[in-house]
Chains A and B, each alone.
Chain A
Amino acid sequence: MSTEVHTLIGAWALDAVDADERRQVEEHLTECASCAQEAGELREAVWRLSDVTLAEPPAALRERVLAEVRRTRQEAPLVSEPEAAPKPARRVPRLRLPRLRLAVGAAALAAVAAFAGVFATWAVLRPEESPTADRMTAVLEAPDAEVAYQEADGGGRVTVVASESLDEAVVVVSDLAAVDDDRSYQVWLVDEAGQESAGVMDAGDSSATMWIDGLGDTDLIGVTEEPAGGSAAPTLPMVADVALPA
């Protein structure tokens, strides 16, 4: 049966199946990762067939569409539960993310290790010659330290431990998608009014830990991929946008 359905993937990609078959194929795709991969690749080829049918639409269509859009509400995004079975990270630029609020003090350090898998990163930072190491320790051990994290687009994770009383945070960026040497990840503090750069990671690096002094009204901490050395304004979409506990 499933082999039968499988042979329909090509016809499905061309919308050349009936409604029943379409349902069967799409059900099959949720259960078969390699089939979903093939289906996705065929779709990417199929849409290019429309390269040869481009045609200028009537000018009035633009006005009608834009007018209808103005009075049309957008659908709510699909929110995936943090506990749900592992899925590829979804990236919709909305503040929807699994958030952890964890208890305090030393627990925060353990939490970072547990949730970000970054204990090694942290250990590297421990040497006392790093002047920020003590500040990081202070944040992690602050009584009001809270942890939030997000799976990054393309892999890896961004974890933030923030202390409101200290107005400081530690951001741990771990194992983001590899970038070439002419690209850098950049971290941003975003609030109601705008954003500022919190730092640019070394070109080609996909992991780093940083200490942030002066959180202010920061709502979320975002990470973007930029040309090496960073940009004045973030290139969207963000790779991750971790909302800070309110």
Chain B
Amino acid sequence: MFDTGAGPGPRREPRLTAVPDAGAATPEALLHRTALGEDAAFAALYDLMAPRVYGLCVRVLRDPAQAEEVAQEVLVEVWRTATRFDEHRGSAGAWITTIAHRRAVDRVRSAQAAGDRERRAAASSTETEYDSVVEAATSRLEHRQVRRCLKTLTELQRQAVTLAYYGGHTYRQVATLLEAAVPTVKTRIRDGLAKLRDCLEVAR
């Protein structure tokens, strides 16, 4: 049952350090080590995820200074709460990106509530929303996947999903922007995401 031929090897190998292979540098592995308080693992995780966190904040908030501020909050929160990450409930990428998106959106909404934000979003056409997304895409494979998968959505599904995600709008706001019924938008968002999920899974 066991390979007992190995015999007692030399004791005192380095304390549980991750094997330096590709697998060890996954966000999940780095997040686990971050949870153990390893500064170096967090620094590596920063290098891996900061462009995603910062980029998303810029996209939602538009203002680079605010985006930088929120990105800092997000990344410190990742460090602080890495101990609560549960990989059974999702990937490290989803966990970190969710924190970033929520924080960015919360910032947008509190600014809206305070009434100090112009309703320029309403002025921007839905085409612009999508075009600037596409524009941001480079030759990276992932970009192509997401772009291709977004194209499998119906026009209304795609507009609803991108306005909500990149624009930081609630589904009710999206309904207003698209001049569509609120229940319709709710349904389109859900169907659109299901399609996106299926497409991305196939693409992997």
Contacts and interface: CB of A to CB of B under 8 A. Distances in A.
B18 A235 contact: yes
Given A40-B89, A53-B133, 15 more contacts: A8-B171, A11-B189, A11-B190, A16-B174, A48-B200, A53-B56, A61-B72, A65-B46, A66-B43, A74-B37, A190-B16, A195-B15, A201-B2, A201-B3, A234-B16
A162 to B, nearest CB: 17
Contacts of B6: 197, 199-200, 230
Contacts of B87: 91
B89 to A, nearest CB: 6
A76 B12 contact: no
Contacts of A75: 80-81, 83-84
Interface of B: 1-4, 6, 8-19, 21, 23-24, 28-29, 32-33, 35-37, 39, 42-43, 46-47, 50-56, 58-59, 68, 71-72, 75-76, 79-91, 93-94, 97-98, 100-102, 105, 133-134, 136-137, 140, 142-143, 145-147, 161-162, 164-166, 168-171, 174, 183, 186-187, 189-194, 196-197, 200
A69 B76 CA distance: 6
Contacts, number: 269
28 contacts: A9-B190, A14-B171, A15-B98, A15-B168, A16-B164, A16-B165, A17-B171, A44-B197, A46-B98, A53-B52, A53-B136, A61-B50, A69-B79, A74-B81, A75-B84, A93-B36, A94-B36, A187-B2, A193-B12, A196-B9, A196-B10, A200-B3, A205-B1, A208-B1, A208-B2, A233-B17, A236-B16, A236-B33
A104 B10 CA distance: 32
Given A50-B55, A236-B33, A210 B2 contact: yes
Contact of A235 (B12, B24, B90, B133): B24
Interface of A: 7-11, 13-18, 40-58, 61-62, 64-66, 68-70, 72-78, 88-94, 153, 187, 190, 193-197, 199-202, 205, 208-210, 214, 216, 229-237
A214 B8 contact: yes
Contacts of B168: 15
A69 B1 contact: no
Nearest to A241: B16
Q: Which 3 A-B pairs have the closest CB atoms?
A: A10-B190, A55-B55, A57-B54
Given A42-B193, A43-B94, A69-B79, A91 B86 contact: yes
Contact of B51 (A55, A209, A229): A55
A53 B142 CA distance: 11
B38 to A, nearest CB: 10
Contacts of B97: 46-47, 50
Contacts of A55: 51, 54-55, 58
Given A49-B165, A52-B146, A54-B55, A40 B90 contact: yes
B176 to A, nearest CB: 13
Contacts of B29: 236-237
